[in-house]
Amino acid sequence: MSEAEAETLSKSDLLDRDTLTKFLVNQKKQGKLEAYHAQKNARSLDGLPSMKVARRTRGEWFWAADLKAFLARVLAQREGFVMGVVIGIMLMLSLNMASTERVIHLVQS
């Protein structure tokens, strides 16, 4: 911002707005502040579990929500997940064939 632009701003443009403060005071008077915090703080902006205090207030089971978030992260990386499963299956098959060949070799001896 240039100096000329800064001078054109009035002091009222630079003051904090008290909208949030008024809203929170009103919520507290109505007894809804804890529920508001629980609703807004239980999930992050990307939908993942966040503050445990808010989740506890909502009555969530931590393990269930954390498992759901973990599975969502894993499934979001489908290619890596599928590749891991394929490699695992190939490894199991190759180990199984190697042990079968050993058994056949031992039986024939």
Residue range 33-56, pLDDT digits in tens = 888 877 887 777 777 677 777 777
Averaged pLDDT score across all residues of the chain: 79
Residue tagged 């098959």 (tokens): 93
Query: The pTM is what?
Result: 0.39
DSSP states along the chain: --HHHHHHS-HHHHSPP-HHHHHHHHHHHTT-HHHHHHHHHSB-TTS-B--HHHHHHTT--HHHHHHHHHHHHHHHTHHHHHHHHHHHHHHHHHHHHHHHHHHHHHHH-
CA distance 95 to 101: 10
pLDDT band at 85 (very low <50, low <70, confident <90, very high): very high
Q: Is 6 a residue whose pLDDT tops 90?
A: no
Q: Please indicate whether residue 72 or residue 50 has the higher confidence score (pLDDT).
A: 72
pLDDT at 87: 95
Q: Where are the domains of the chain?
A: 18-76, 77-109
- Sign, CA dihedral 92-93-94-98, equals positive
